[in-house]
A and B are shown apart, each in its own frame.
Chain A
Amino acid sequence: MKKQHRDQHDDDLTINGNGVSRRAFMGYLSGALAAGTLLGPTDVWAQSGGKAGLLRVGANANPSSLDPATGGSGSDHVFLYPLYDTLVTWDFESLKAEPGLAERWEFTDSTTLVLTVKQGVRFHDGSALDANAVKTNLDRSRGAEFSNIRADLASVDNVAVTGEHEVTLTLKNPDTALPLILSDRAGMMVSPAALEKHGGRVDRNPVGAGFMRFGNWADGSEVVVSRFDDYHDPANRPALGGIEFKVITDSATRLRAVMSGQADLAYHLDGRQKPLVEKMPTLSGSISSTIYVYQLYMNMARKPMDDVRVRQAINHAIDRDAFIRATMAGAGEPAYMNLPESHWAFDKQTAGLYPHDPEKAKALLAEAGYPDGIELDLRGYNDQSSVQMQEVLLAQFAKAGIRGRFRTGTIADMSAAYFGQEKTGDMLLSAWTGRPDPSLSYSLMYTEDAYFNAGSVAPPDGFNEALLASRSSDDIEQRKAALAKVQRLVMENALVAPLAFRQSIVASNDKVSGYRNNLLGKPKFNGVSLKG
């Protein structure tokens, strides 16, 4: 939840010069201006142009830590990816698992995963990345007191070095989600020598095997990394001399930094900035879907949410296209399930379950014994963009006989009250940031003891079996079929009302080439180069 909180808290100040009497202010300003222009554009211009090959990136948040095992924020990954290579990587468009530092992996039986580590890989400090280093990392991530990712590796029972470049993971239960888990924090390899030197954690002195090595981190201001010349992948030799991440929390300011030349690229821009990114001739935009989905969580232990027909009615009452136009400036993909269309496990059949149909919603409510409609206790957050979403939803609900009022508060308060001990409210408007493997999303939201299943209501029959099946096979078609079943059970029983996938909006100037968005929505800069 933490991650989405921060994401939602991107500020929304936008430039709006319309209607300002330019002459009046310029006149008034003239005195002050005279003093300012006396300084003149000196050689300092050159500094804003950047050093050769240095990509200047406008980042939305200061990292919580540069140690993959101790950090807690979803916005850290953008800083971590250049520093640490992961055992497994993913395809940018579909998030399918691809070889990384582990050139091969194989489930020799359902509870044994054998990883073959690429040979000749060195960390930034020159030490070798071999099977021992992988074991040190995995054991630290799943065992260390301070590790924030112990849950990610909960299914691992034992890690054994079975060859100089071979690691064998023995699992407590079948878990084919592991390869993709190893594309995330748990798969980021830290130099064991550095760990030893810095007392087991490298929050501020990261040493990995990524294409960039750590330079400097000034809190809340910038993180600077520079090219690692001995990077292991000759096909992907870094074309950049370095990356300078400038922390600019306000998204309008971040975009201005690119427009006025203090940054080459800015990510996590707001939907409202999409038209600006598209229209400015000096900017190029990369805009694509992510797995970050806005949704209404449902507490199925409360009346009338315990009736599946009510939950289905809510899903039918939502006009997702209008919602996106009105609240996200069109920068979204309608969500009919927890995965966007380009994801490898997307299920077309499930996506057709809930066309916008207020009449059908009314009929379903009547069938459930509410011919006069229902009154709901709704919860949400109090930031500007959340409130806007709430207003649009209420208007859509009203047409289907669903009434209610959103009570709002800070993200921390409202989500703690909804999911935690108190269990207040019938529905909560929030978001799900997604996980590298979809089976994790489903188990974290819908199983009986899941924190995000506010009512702790048991999932429909067959759900647990299908979920288990999706984690028991490593054949992608079989996994797809099992996950389609999971997804269909979730949506047929309307355990959630998904609304829209957020788009990743990245703006860059014309010097940047080779940048591609990915479905996770966390930019990677591996193939990026600078012209001129």
Chain B
Amino acid sequence: MTTAVKANRVKQKMVVSRLLQALPILVLATFIVFSLMQLIPGDVAVTLAGENASAERIAQIREAYGLNQPFLAQYGDWLWRAAQGDLGASLLSGEPVAQTIARTFPNTLLIAVYAVLLSVLVGVPLGILAATRSGSPLDSGIMGAASLGVAVPNFWFGMILVLYLALTFKWFPATGFVSPREDFSAALWYATLPALALCTNGIAEIARQLRSSLVEIQSSQHVRTLHAKGLSPARILWKHGLKNVSVNLLTVVGLLFNKILAATVVVEAVFAIPGIGSSIVNAVLQGDFPVVQGAVLAMVVTVILVNLFTDLACTVLDPRISEA
């Protein structure tokens, strides 16, 4: 009982310290993004002023939006408001950034989660299959396909999927999206092709990692002992093999989610999905910094939370981690 209480304390301490560590990361990430925004060409004041605008008009707009303030003052102002929960509004459309995030992020999250689930559902059986028949033609076949899966760019694969599954067979829509909050089943249907495009790398990565971990464990001494004691290979695999690699697998899945979240930026463009990735791209191109900042903040927070959750889950699966 005391050990359980102790383990809980350790977990609480870990959550608090992780959240505290996240704060400087958030500030740093938004600061870097803000600095990069200053470097890229394009001036939101010129965009706002429209065609044939006079230099005077552009100057007026800079003044009105505070764009003539020094860089640090602009960032400080943004940070101060953000700390109070005010992410501001888009310079171009006037839509509050919080609203933009609420509208677009669920779409992106749905695709990302869907893609991770597909990766796990397909990648894990493939990895187990390859590991249990290690060295067989099936193993080399799966691993060969996995190498290809890692190498294939997902936007290109997305186009191929569209070509066959949407345009030729008409099984899925080629473009567009339905918000999961409006109609979840329709949202899933629209999210299928983008998720398929995104999951190829994930399937390959999970299959490879799982196979190598399992092969390693199966050749270890304690597994040899289990064989010697007469345990069936299936029981060894499920009870001892998979349990041992689960931490490893979970870490891979956590990293994979973050990777897929980043990749949605491109895939959203290919499928014309109003997600947070396409919001960021549009906002960057037009110099609409409040939207960029807010959206990046939302993504960074998500990544930090996913990492935290992964770590917590790892301590549950392997208590040795919290003791360390």
Contact = CB atoms under 8 A, between A and B. Distances in A.
B102 to A, nearest CB: 11
A16 B172 CA distance: 19
A439 to B, nearest CB: 15
B173 A48 contact: yes
Contacts of A139: none
Max chain A C-beta neighbours (<10 A), residue from B92, B183, B282? B92
Nearest to B281: A249
Interface residues of B, number: 61
Contact of A62 (B93, B126, B162): B93
B149 A44 contact: no
Given A42-B189, A248-B272, A451-B52, A219 B95 contact: yes
Question: Nearest 10 CB-CB pairs, A to B?
Answer: A72-B50, A221-B274, A260-B174, A148-B50, A248-B272, A257-B175, A44-B186, A256-B174, A262-B176, A17-B163
Contact of A410 (B41, B160, B162): B41
Interface string A74-101: 1000000000000000000000000000
B162 A256 contact: yes
14 contacts: A15-B163, A36-B193, A37-B171, A42-B189, A62-B282, A71-B50, A72-B51, A151-B52, A247-B274, A250-B272, A253-B271, A254-B175, A257-B176, A260-B173
A20 to B, nearest CB: 6
Given A35-B122, A151-B52, A17 B160 contact: yes
A260 B94 CA distance: 33
A13 B269 CA distance: 10
Interface in A17-49: 17, 20, 22, 25-26, 28-29, 31-33, 35-37, 39, 41-42, 44, 47-48
A326 interface: no
A25 B272 CA distance: 24
B199 A32 contact: yes
A259 B90 CA distance: 33
Contact of A253 (B48, B178, B189, B270): B270
B317 interface: no
B47 A2 contact: yes
Main secondary structure of the interface of B (DSSP, over half): helix
A145 B57 CA distance: 9
B274 A262 contact: no
A361 B270 CA distance: 45
A37 B274 CA distance: 24
A33 B126 CA distance: 14
A249 B278 CA distance: 10
B41 A13 contact: no
B46 A412 contact: yes
A218 B270 contact: no
A263 B118 CA distance: 28
Given A15-B159, A62-B282, A204-B94, A256 B42 contact: no
